[in-house]
Chains A and B, each alone.
Chain A
Amino acid sequence: MVQANPGTEKVALWRDERFWKIIFQIVVVGILLTIVAIAINNMNVNLARQGRQFEFKFLIDRAGFNIGETVLPYKVDDPYYWGLIVGLANTLRLCLVSVVLATIFGVVAGIASFSSNWLLRKLSLVYVEVLRNTPPLLQFFFWYVVVFFGLSSKGQVTRLTDFLLISKKGIWIPWPAGNIITALSLGLLLAGAIAAIVLWRSRLKRMEEEGASGRPQRNALVVIGVICLGLFVFGLQWVFPKPVGGGNDVVGGLRMSLEYGAMMMGLSAYIGAFIAEIVRAGIQATPTGQWEAGRALGLPDGHLMRLVVLPQALRIIIPSLNSQYATLIKNSSLSLAIGYPDIFSTAQTTLNQTGRAVEVVLLMILTYLTLNVIVSFFMNVLNQAVQFQER
């Protein structure tokens, strides 16, 4: 009866292409899982043979090693996990500053490559070519040994300017005193910034909707700017570093070790060169029609760049920027080579002291993975924000 109706005739299972596709995928997944299971089992058997097992209990043991410079408080008797967290804080301190600096370097060099000034264009080219085409580790050594060791002399403080002192012990820059007046001024600065943004938006709205000149708002913005500048210079209570006692000690200001300085400058300059290329590519990828249309409207060069080209270039720049930030974070692990105690360095010591290779390496992988996933998340949010708004 069933065969009588050709429309509902059932194809044999083994002749159904979809069936075999599913089976094939199941087999592939099965093989992968088996390999992973064998590997894990193998590891457990081997660890058991050495009288150990896969566990993270060692993390609460006494670390017993020192960390040269720390953001968080740390002492020799603290457990391993705290040593790793202190290392992570050092990594973050390095990466946050370097990401900002690298972006600044990159954007400046990228835009400079379009400058009508010949010297500026060539400088940008040399910067990009030299830093992109030499290994990062070499550059870090260059900053550390040639630049910072070269600038500082033994047993004394070199005053480069009032803003920058350097000795073998570190680099000092002016820093806010951190008293009540500093806090108050910071609050006022923040309020000023918010007020300025609000004012700017309402100015644009008025100009667009009512055809207003926007002059009163502009004057208000200038006043806010002047007040903020005053607050920044005088309100923050800057403390300038001063050498004491004729040796290489300095009081006041913020101290950064030479290792930190070298890593910060090295990472920023290296990644900045790549970002410069990305910015250049982004700007170049904006269709020439957009430039021409802007010029036809009579926009000055600055407006053309800011209002027409950059918003479109950002769509191309941001996804690539994400991978540069990831590279920066991963390269920060080279700190180990020039003695900056980042998380990789403390993990290395932990590994050597506990012999827990599998556990420590796994922790490291997870740490860098997590950091980069967080960065990707924020970059994706940013990317969404600059995409075409379909209306």
Chain B
Amino acid sequence: MDLHTLMLKTWSWRFLTALMLATTVAACESAPSNPTATAGGDSAVASASRLDTIKSRGKLICGVEGTIPGFSFVDSSGKYSGLDVDTCRAVAAAIFDTADDIDSKIEFRNLDSTTRFPALQNGEVDMLARNTTWTLSRDAAGGNGLEFGPTTFFDGQGVMVTKASGITSFKDLGGKAVCVETGTTTELNLASRAKQAGITVSEVKFQDSNATFAAYQEGRCEAITSDRSQLAAKRTSLPTPDDHVLLEDVLSKEPLGPVTINNDSRLFDVVRWVTYGLFQAEEFGITQADVESKLQDPNPDVQNFLGTTGSLGEQLGLSKDFMVKVVKATGNYGEIYDRNIGEKLKIDRGQNKLWTDGGLMYSPAFR
């Protein structure tokens, strides 16, 4: 890698963007109006929802990242696993009213960060479950024009330290060296949090995330900061993962969740309530293993939730007992988390606990 490549990596994109702007004036001007136009047409006739397209097609096309262990990852046999992947499975189980061989009802598409939104807007995929941070400009009609479902993973910038360093909280970082990747919001967050905490840290900044991790591994820095999920994933590849701990402190907000297109309430409501259902199932203590026996649960809320009584599912355009199929297919949120993030990446649930346990996972009422 020479200087040229270094510069290419970061700067040429900006030049390119500027050039593209010059040459594709027409495309730029019409792009934001595209999704609103088609989606407006959809909502004019209530039945013309993407949901019907999915049902008649018999497959849900779900956009995922595909290379992040714990979130969405394809193994050598082509099988997908991860928290995002299970979100897709839950939605598919609800729509197709079955828990058996759910992967045959889903087509996963790997999307990178630049193609994910166009793919959704052009209808190449029905929904995204792809490590996408919920921000205003992505949500708003004047921005990317998307709908964000419930957050399935509260990510954020974290700090990893060696156990030997004796650092247990962010405040202990005063006077210590911290490895950080330059040119990201990460270094800005670190500087402002350090100032808030009244400590000074000595930052060692690298252009490249591999160099950053190498320097941390060599002991140049007592700590390293990056997104918590990334730190956890990298920790698994360190020679002795158990010697490193992620601090509880979170330096920024990165809520990740499923995404659908604007102005398609029927599909969006399904995605939203299926995801909420995963939280609610955990709150009720309904698991993949005992969902059948919970059908006889005397609690009227549980009976409503599982569709033994009432017609909640039908109001969404699904079957009455859609949540039974969902939980059978993927388990509740806690099971999904433990299976993908807890066991593989060893990230404590922290903010991702249920609200009843002091976390942020909260489902509105199923009634």
Contact = CB atoms under 8 A, between A and B. Distances in A.
A149 interface: yes
A241 interface: no
Given A145-B218, A259-B204, A46 B18 contact: yes
B25 to A, nearest CB: 8
B204 A64 contact: no
A357 interface: yes
Contacts of A337: 1, 6, 206-208, 211
B306 to A, nearest CB: 50
A345 B211 CA distance: 15
B219 A168 contact: yes
Given A154-B219, A168-B218, A42 B187 contact: no
B164 interface: yes
A64 B183 contact: no
Interface residues of A, number: 46
Contacts of B21: 46, 49-50
B211 A338 contact: yes
Contacts of B204: 68, 257, 259, 339
A43 B14 CA distance: 12
Contacts of A50: 21
Interface stretch (A17-25, A302-310, A348-356): A348-356
Interface in A245-301: 257-259
A339 B211 contact: yes
B36 interface: no
Given A334-B6, A337-B206, A339-B211, A149 B220 contact: yes
B3 A334 contact: yes
Contacts of A338: 206, 211
Interface stretch (B66-74, B189-197, B283-291, B316-324): B189-197
A349 B211 CA distance: 17
Contacts of A331: 3
A76 interface: yes
A211 interface: no
Nearest to A45: B22
A109 to B, nearest CB: 24
Interface in B1-20: 1-3, 6, 10-11, 14-15, 18
B214 A145 contact: yes
Contacts of A330: 3
A167 B182 CA distance: 24
Contacts of A258: 220
A135 B187 contact: no
Contacts of B214: 145
| B28, B195, B203, B205: most-surrounded residue (chain A CB, <10 A) | B205
Contacts, number: 107
Given A155-B164, A357-B18, A349 B177 contact: no
B3 A357 contact: no
B182 A348 contact: yes
Contact of A42 (B22, B177, B203, B219): B22
B11 A351 contact: yes
Contacts of B194: 66, 76
Contact of B205 (A77, A154, A334, A339): A339
| A42, A46, A77: most-surrounded residue (chain B CB, <10 A) | A46
Nearest to B192: A64
B31 interface: no
A46 B203 contact: no
A42 B195 CA distance: 41
A77 B208 CA distance: 26
A361 B206 contact: no
| B2, B182, B220: most-surrounded residue (chain A CB, <10 A) | B220
Contact of B187 (A69, A155, A336, A349): A349
B201 interface: yes
Interface in A33-84: 42-43, 45-46, 49-50, 64-69, 76-77
Contacts of A361: 11
A345 B180 CA distance: 13
Interface string A327-342: 0001101101111010
A135 B2 contact: yes
Interface string A123-160: 00000000000011100000001000100101100000
A186 B29 CA distance: 68
Nearest to B206: A339
B215 A339 contact: yes
A134 B187 CA distance: 32
Given A169-B177, A348-B182, A66 B203 contact: yes
A76 B201 CA distance: 11
Contact of A336 (B182, B184, B191): B182
A166 B314 CA distance: 71
Nearest to A153: B219
B188 interface: yes
Interface in B197-253: 201-208, 211, 214-215, 218-220
A249 to B, nearest CB: 10
A65 B6 contact: no
A382 B50 CA distance: 76
A17 B194 CA distance: 73
A76 B195 contact: yes
A349 B192 CA distance: 15
Contacts of A348: 10, 182-183, 207
9 contacts: A46-B18, A66-B190, A68-B203, A135-B2, A145-B214, A168-B219, A168-B220, A336-B6, A339-B211
Interface of B: 1-3, 6, 10-11, 14-15, 18, 21-22, 28, 164, 177, 179, 182-184, 187-188, 190-192, 194-195, 201-208, 211, 214-215, 218-220
Given A66-B194, A351-B10, 5 more contacts: A49-B21, A68-B202, A135-B2, A145-B214, A348-B10
8 closest A-B pairs by CB: A357-B14, A154-B219, A352-B183, A149-B218, A339-B204, A66-B203, A66-B191, A46-B21
